[in-house]
Amino acid sequence: MKTLLIIGSQSTARAKLEEILVSRNWRCQFVNNFDEVQSFYGWQDLHVFMISLEEALSKNSLTFVEQLNKHAQLVAYTDSVNQETEELANMSQLFSVVSLSHTPPWQIDMILQRAAEQAKSLVNLAKESAEPIYRKLFEASAGLFTSESLSKLLEQTCREIALGAGFDRAVLVLGDSKFRIQNAQAYFVSDQKIINIAALIGQPLMPVLPSSPLTQLGKGFKLESTKSDRDDTRNLILPLERSDGTVLGFLSLDCPNELNSELSTISEPIAILLKLTAAFIETQSLRAELIKRQGSNDSHSEDKSAELRQAQERFSRLVNLTDDIIYLTDAQGRIVYMNELFGARLGYTRENYVGQMLDSVLTDIAADSETNAHAISEIQSRTEDRVSHDIELFTKTGYRKAFALSHHWVRQGQDIVAGQGILRDVSEQRELQARLARSERLGMAGKLASGVAHEINNPLQAIASHLAGIGDKVGNDSKALESLGVVSDSVERIRLMVRSLMDLQRVETSVRSNENVNKVVDRTITLLGPQIRSAAIDVVCNLDPDLPDCLINPGEIEQVLINLILNAVEAMPLGGNLMFRSEASNDKVLLHVTDTGRGISPQIIATLFQPFATYREKGGGLGMGLYMSRNLMQQHGGDLRAESPPGSGATFTLILPMAK
């Protein structure tokens, strides 16, 4: 159900509008005027608003209407439109007007739908316009780290943000422990926009706008401004904050140029760069404090520091020699160290995760499963000192990898003081075990097939000999001869299938000839005609008459098609359509077999062609049909592929090389 915010006081028109919209499947929320809009939770995420025409045209609302129109579409409503209000509405480019008395409900619904689509397009366009700003500011962040001093850092921050965000002037002030400005830097493109930095030192820490100078009043101050200054809505002020939220200073931007974008699109990337600047400031302070302390240390402490560094280096070398991911946490479970194997195994930058909670990191990169959730909850609960679980993690490229997690909480007395753990990559081991299991199952199937084949071949020989005798007695009955031919072909096909079961890998090369795939399709449809018709399935053929020949064994390709058709019949228990389409693409011949059945889920698609993989709801089948079919296609130098868009059946594509 779609949500719509309606602005306007209670009236007959509003009640009538609600009745219309509820009947069109809209969920209506109401506020009396624009002052109440911001108290409505989630109003920023709405793309379309309805406003009473009187409220929209009021002088007090026009400014808010103009601001709201930048990210949403507005539709004004009225019970009746007189000449005066119609002229006023037509003069506005900010909203469209619907008359409840003259506009039918379906048309109102269509207008709202169109307005929502237009608003979404504007929002997407605004996001796209912000991408260059993100890129510029990201590139600028690399140069901040090389700043030689605090003043250079502030000066470079002003310049890069002003140039990247499209402002001709930027002022950045930094406060001391008493919240007085102790350092200030500015960027301006011309002498007309110059600002006296020295006059700001010692002033109370607050945003500085050159167009609004400070006037000292005893121990206080006030802002001096003109009406024209107040009308300038293109100023932007952002705080410079420490990691703990303490305000270090303020950045003020004014004098936007022609490259300037919407404030809503540029404030976020600027705030990110300011956080980075604040981090650099803290780093410089820590570095200065460290140098000061090192200068006061005696030779004994220097030796201890050197010994500590050597121990840390030895520890780092040791843990980086292992093939496992090793991590350490503090008492709260926050990661304080990870070895380099974290990036090598998973592809993530380990520095981005140091400092985060271990359970949050695991939740972020772990696959969504009950086993993973149980392992993470055991670590969170801290009831067990040792936690050992198998867990699946996503790599940065999107692949799943299996890991054996071993976590240990370190205690002193009853209190946890640290945590440590190992993540061992067991993906290759799991894959080898799975391959071994498949090999054992294939070996068992081969032995079983050898025994069964002997028992099946004897009755097949009897059937074939009796068919030959019956053929001699039929005489010139064409229909009977055609039926006997179909039965004879089926017997031969069964014989070939039994033979292939005796050697699932089929190393030997079958006899092949140049053949048109369309003819193979026609023969297969004729062979399975009774089953197809009894299942109430309509066959649609769109075969390319100019399709080139392929070097194939027709019987083996028929075997693949029979498998696909029988699977399609089972997937359409209530009937449906079975479509065949052939085409030539580059040096390949493609045959698409499409059904309108229930489709195949993405989880099944991934293992569809594995041996013994059967997904029939009513049971039956060994799960070897698609496996053998794909083997046959690959032996022909081609392939068999499957796709199934949700809710729209399945398509299998046979790919064969053209005959040379």
Does residue 529 carry a pLDDT above 50?
Answer: yes
Does residue 355 carry a pLDDT above 80?
Answer: yes
Whole-number pLDDT of residue 340: 81
Whole-number pLDDT of residue 491: 75
Closest CA to 517 of 658, 623, 341: 658
560-584, pLDDT tens digit by residue? 998 899 889 888 888 999 999 999 9
For residue 281, count CB atoms less than 10 angstroms from its CB and return exposed for 0-12, middle for 13-18, buried for 19 or more: buried
* Average confidence (pLDDT) over 613-628: 64
More confident residue, 575 or 460: 575
Lowest mean pLDDT among 189-198, 345-354, 359-368, 636-645: 189-198
Rounded-to-integer distance, Cα 42 and Cα 323, Å: 48
Based on the fold, state whether residues 241 and 368 are members of the same structural domain. no
> What are the Cα distances from residue 508, in Å, to 91, 499, 635, 636?
83, 12, 10, 12
More confident residue, 318 or 590: 590
* Average confidence (pLDDT) over 434-440: 67
Based on the fold, state whether residues 280 and 415 are members of the same structural domain. no
Based on the fold, state whether residues 101 and 215 are members of the same structural domain. no
Lowest mean pLDDT among 59-73, 191-205, 322-336: 59-73
**Boundary-marking domain end, from 128, 155, 189:** 128
Whether 304 maps to a domain, the answer reads: no
Q: Please, which pLDDT band fits residue 257 given cuts at 50, 70 and 90?
A: confident
Whole-number pLDDT of residue 227: 45
Based on the fold, state whether residues 419 and 473 are members of the same structural domain. no
Whole-number pLDDT of residue 229: 43
Site of tokens 């090999």: 439
Torsions phi, psi for 84 (to 5 deg): -70, -50
Q: Please, which pLDDT band fits residue 507 given cuts at 50, 70 and 90?
A: very low
Over pLDDT 90: what percentage of the chain? 10
Based on the fold, state whether residues 81 and 42 are members of the same structural domain. yes
More confident residue, 79 or 368: 368
More confident residue, 81 or 650: 650
Based on the fold, state whether residues 418 and 435 are members of the same structural domain. no
Whole-number pLDDT of residue 170: 87
Does residue 519 carry a pLDDT above 90?
Answer: yes
More confident residue, 14 or 222: 14
Q: What are the beta bridge partners of residue 387?
A: 407
Does residue 504 carry a pLDDT above 50?
Answer: no
Rounded-to-integer distance, Cα 301 and Cα 314, Å: 20
- What's the chain's length in residues? 660
Does residue 93 carry a pLDDT above 70?
Answer: no
The verdict on pTM exceeding 0.75 is no
Give the CA count within 13 Å in the CB-facing half-sphere of 196: 7
Lowest mean pLDDT among 11-20, 278-287, 535-544: 278-287
Whether 136 maps to a domain, the answer reads: no
Based on the fold, state whether residues 399 and 267 are members of the same structural domain. no
Whether 296 maps to a domain, the answer reads: no
Whole-number pLDDT of residue 231: 41
Whether 565 maps to a domain, the answer reads: yes
Which domain range does residue 367 map to? 311-423
Q: Give me the number of domains the chain comprises.
A: 5
Closest CA to 49 of 65, 63, 25: 65
Rounded-to-integer distance, Cα 85 and Cα 53, Å: 8
364-413, pLDDT tens digit by residue? 888 888 888 888 888 888 888 888 888 889 888 888 888 988 898 988 88
**Boundary-marking domain end, from 423, 446, 470:** 423
Closest CA to 591 of 534, 647, 518: 518
- Give the CATH number of the domain where residue 21 resides: 3.40.50.2300
Structural tokens at position 580: 């065949």
* Average confidence (pLDDT) over 187-200: 79
Whether 436 maps to a domain, the answer reads: yes
Does residue 107 carry a pLDDT above 70?
Answer: yes
User: Helices 263-296 and 105-144 meet at what angle, rounded to 10?
Assistant: 30
* Average confidence (pLDDT) over 248-257: 85
* Average confidence (pLDDT) over 537-564: 91
Whole-number pLDDT of residue 546: 92
Whole-number pLDDT of residue 29: 79
**Boundary-marking domain end, from 396, 423, 450:** 423
Whole-number pLDDT of residue 226: 47
Closest CA to 652 of 536, 534, 571: 571
Collapsing DSSP states into helix, strand and coil, what is residue 309?
helix
Does residue 64 carry a pLDDT above 80?
Answer: no
Whether 105 maps to a domain, the answer reads: yes
Rounded-to-integer distance, Cα 633 and Cα 230, Å: 76
Based on the fold, state whether residues 521 and 657 are members of the same structural domain. yes
* Average confidence (pLDDT) over 223-245: 65
Whole-number pLDDT of residue 367: 86
* Average confidence (pLDDT) over 422-427: 86
Does residue 439 carry a pLDDT above 90?
Answer: no
Rounded-to-integer distance, Cα 219 and Cα 224, Å: 17
Whole-number pLDDT of residue 24: 80
Whether 137 maps to a domain, the answer reads: no
Whole-number pLDDT of residue 337: 85
For 475-484, which contacts have Cβ atoms below 8 Å and span 24 or more sequence positions?
A: none
122-146, pLDDT tens digit by residue? 655 555 555 666 666 666 665 666 6
Based on the fold, state whether residues 280 and 153 are members of the same structural domain. yes
Which range is most confident: 64-78, 156-170, 221-235?
A: 156-170
Based on the fold, state whether residues 328 and 361 are members of the same structural domain. yes
- Give the CATH number of the domain where residue 556 resides: 3.30.565.10
Whole-number pLDDT of residue 200: 83
Whole-number pLDDT of residue 70: 59
* Average confidence (pLDDT) over 265-277: 77
Average pLDDT, the chain: 77
Whole-number pLDDT of residue 26: 82
309-344, pLDDT tens digit by residue? 776 677 676 666 677 888 889 988 899 888 888 888
Does residue 505 carry a pLDDT above 50?
Answer: no
Residue ranges in 24-58 assigned as alpha helix (H): 53-57
Does residue 291 carry a pLDDT above 80?
Answer: no
Whole-number pLDDT of residue 232: 46
Rounded-to-integer distance, Cα 656 and Cα 549, Å: 10
More confident residue, 107 or 390: 390
Rounded-to-integer distance, Cα 492 and Cα 498, Å: 10
Based on the fold, state whether residues 514 and 493 are members of the same structural domain. no
15-25, pLDDT tens digit by residue? 888 888 888 88
96-106, pLDDT tens digit by residue? 777 777 778 88
More confident residue, 131 or 115: 115
- Give the CATH number of the domain where residue 448 resides: 1.10.287
- Give the CATH number of the domain where residue 320 resides: 3.30.450.20
Based on the fold, state whether residues 513 and 640 are members of the same structural domain. yes
